[in-house]
Amino acid sequence: MAARHVIFIGRVQGVGFRFTALRMAQRHQLTGFVRNLPDGTVEMLTQGSAKDIDDCIQDIKEYFGDYLRDTRIQEIPTDPRYKDFRITF
């Protein structure tokens, strides 16, 4: 089990980013959350197998292509309180 904290930077709000990330995370059977941040970025915390997390992040990058300017990924400890993946506010 692995966990990653991800910040997506670019035109990521108002383009269906969170809903797409939710679908992709669920498809990869990940837990955690995705949410908009006040600075215009999107934060995602995701847990699951390292391969599934990496595949999900790659799927998001490919889907949003030119909308993304940068993606910051940090390894973090897993947190058992996340039982599913959801959009938070």
Q: Known catalytic residues?
A: 18, 36
The 3-state secondary structure of 25-64 reads HHHCCCEEEEEECCCCCEEEEEEECHHHHHHHHHHHHHHH
Query: What is the number of H-type helices and E-type strands within the chain?
Result: 2, 5
How far is 63 from 74, CA to CA, in rounded Å? 21
